[in-house]
Amino acid sequence: MSDESPAETPSSDDSPKARAKAEAKRHGKLWELRQMPAQRWLNQFCENWIFAFIVAMTIRHFALEAYRIPTASMEPMLFGDEAVSKADHVVVDKLLFRFTGPDRWGVTVFQFPWPEVAGPAGPAQPVVAWDGEGGRSDRFPFNPQMNRNFVKRCVVQPGDDFFIRGGDIHVRQEDGSFSVPAKPAAIQDALWLPIYEQGSQNGNLRWQAKGGSSVADDGGTLVCQLSEQGRIHFDQPLWNLYVKSGPVNVRRSGSASPLTRVDVSLTEPRFSIKEGAREIDGSIWDLNRWEVRRVTTKDLDSASHGAQLNQRMTEWVGDLKVDFLCSELTGQADVVLAEGSLVELRLRLRGDGWAVLVDGAEVAGGSEAPTGSRWTMINVDDRVSVLRDGEAVADPVAVSPTNPEVFEQRSALWLEGSGSLRAARLTVARDVHYCRSGFLADESGLWAQSGAVGKHNLVVMRRQMIEALVDEDLKTRLVADLDAALDRRRATAWLKPIGDSPERALRAPEDAYLLMGDNSPFSWDGRNWGWVPAANLRGQVLVAAMLPLGRWKLVR
């Protein structure tokens, strides 16, 4: 046992290093105390806020960043507007994204792949930073490059062989065939867009009965009396129509009368306007009779795009979901969802059971009564399925079209049988439909109307897409045709649609992605400016919020 007491034991606090540190700290405090109060406050303020700024910039650059959605191209997933208070603001993951890259169907922020500069109207209307001769038109510091960030959905990944038809992306599989990649369930659920809700608006009964059948609306319940000789047909046009709920400008097609503002939505489409002494009823779904324009006049909502948008919105959608509660049933009722001659999905309901038939062949059935259950019929991504109370009654049945002519056909919905059916809370929804624009369309008219810069942009986009053609012979012919057009000889084949069939399939470059907007008619996207290089990708959207923060949601 030591004779030395604890008080005499050397302490680390008495070491020369510790004493020097304490002395320096004491002198530092004395120096600070000798400063004027305003100087001390300034020192502390700078120390705290410079540190906070460094941390914030580090997070912003490497981890998370916020963006505002300025246009309607991703509605209704993300609402866009020029006004800050009316647009969604999103938080983007940049950290994990650096290691994973974009998933197929992921909502991705990226730098616009063409350099831009402020146009004649300033930064609000940028133009591409190339002149008509292919040279750069940006000049620092008076006309600098803008480098805007866009947000779209990643639909094609590097190395994919693909084409787009019938509103769907068809990708080549390992066996050489093309099929539509199925979206993850959470993403698909978020993408369904309701286009009809039974009883949502008085007078909006879009069902027609023939052959002795009858149909009526009983407070939001569809009451169907079915005859063996007749059927009840859903007669709302299944257009690729989209409007945001609220004010919309309308007028009769071909009319020179001023636009009239009406309040409508996709599920409450009916309106009434006055023309002179007459009161005229209409529906935004009747695009053959009515011209429909958004009230906003920014970007692609401008009046100059009105005719183009109406044309794109009259493409027929194929992917639909029908959902209803079977509240009462007598006899037999068949609910049929068909896509031309491609597929017929039939839900047969009887008092003693039910059955699901695909093209006449039974794929599922049961002996329990169907009443009291909610039934969902789905035709999406070349797969059909039926759910009962949210649970699948059988595995989805794949639809594999072999004839290219059947890739794009009109869908239809009807009821037939013998007896009566009361269907409560019946809704119809549609999937995202990528319309024909950009390289999917004939752009000869756009070429004729464009100035030097517009022609240059078309050449740049078309050349890169033509060079992505899988068919080498077709690629050679179209490149030669493009070069001939630039030599002022009459040649226009290079402006015809490509990437729209197996024969004109495209192959994505190894370092590039195709990104497109959910709101297809209003989206200026990869169909118009081509690939997004991997170097331009910034991150994946996690959440969206509307200012003030009264509404937020996960982005799928």
The more confident residue out of 105 and 449 is 105
Read off the pLDDT of residues 379-408 as tens digits, 9 standing for 90 and up.
Answer: 999 999 999 999 999 999 998 766 656 666
Q: Is residue 8 in a domain? A: no
**With bands split at pLDDT 50, 70 and 90, how would you rate the model's confidence at 6?**
very low
Are residues 471 and 397 part of one domain?
A: no
Q: Please name the amino acid found at residue 213.
A: S
What is the mean predicted confidence (pLDDT) over 28-41? 64
Q: Are residues 217 and 330 in the same domain?
A: yes
Tell me how far apart the alpha carbons of residues 99 and 112 are, in angstroms, rounded to a whole number: 21
304 and 385 share a domain? no
Residues 282 and 366 in one domain: no
Burial class from Cβ neighbours inside 10 Å (0-12, 13-18, 19+) for residue 390 reads: exposed
Euclidean distance between CA atoms 509 and 524, whole angstroms:
21
Dist CA 175 CA 400 (whole Å): 13
Q: Is the pLDDT of residue 205 over 70?
A: yes
Residues 438, 528 contacting (CB under 8 angstroms): yes
In the chain, the number of structural domains is 5
Domain identity same for 261 and 405: no
Residue 438 lies in a domain: no
Are residues 376 and 409 part of one domain? yes
**Across 448-459, average pLDDT:** 84
Q: Do the domain assignments include residue 184? A: no
Domain that holds residue 162: 66-175+506-554
**Residue 23 forms part of a structural domain:** yes
pTM of the predicted model as reported, rounded to 2 decimal places: 0.84
Domain boundary among 313, 330, 350: 313
Does residue 491 share a domain with residue 541?
A: no
Q: Which residues in 190-309 belong to E strands, given as ranges?
A: 193-197, 207-210, 214-218, 221-226, 231-234, 246-252, 260-264, 270-275, 278-283, 290-294
Q: Is residue 389 part of a domain?
A: yes
Q: Within this chain, do residues 203 and 334 fall inside the same structural domain, yes or no?
A: yes
DSSP state of 488: T
Q: What percent of the chain has pLDDT over 90?
A: 48
CATH of the domain at 410: 2.60.120.560
Q: Please, what's the largest Cα pairwise distance for the chain?
A: 117
CA torsion sign, 404 to 406 to 410 to 412?
negative
Of the residues 430, 455, 487, the one at which a domain ends: 430
Shared domain for 197 and 341, answered yes or no, is yes
State whether 150 and 201 are in the same domain.
no
Query: What residue type is 467 in one-letter code?
Result: E
**Residues 555, 76: Cα–Cα separation, whole Å:** 11
CA 261, 262, 264 angle in degrees (round to 5)? 140
**Same domain flag for 280 and 396:** no
Phi then psi for residue 311, to 5 deg, are: -65, -45
pLDDT of residue 297: 45
401-436 residue pLDDT tens: 666 566 667 899 999 999 999 999 999 999 999 999
Q: How many CB atoms lie within 10 A of CB 193?
A: 20
Mean pLDDT in residue range 191-202? 94
| pLDDT tens by residue, 298-334 | 544 555 555 566 677 888 999 999 999 999 999 999 9
Residue 21 lies in a domain: yes
Q: Are residues 230 and 363 both part of a single domain?
A: yes
> Is residue 436 situated within a structural domain?
no
Whether 188 is covered by a domain: the verdict is: no
DSSP secondary structure letters along 122-146: EEEEEEESB-TTS-B--BTTTB---
Given 407, 430, 453, the domain boundary residue is 430
Q: Are 269 and 283 in contact (CB under 8 A)?
A: yes
- What's the one-letter identity of residue 289? R
pLDDT given at position 4? 42
- Whichever domain contains 171, its CATH number is 2.10.109.10
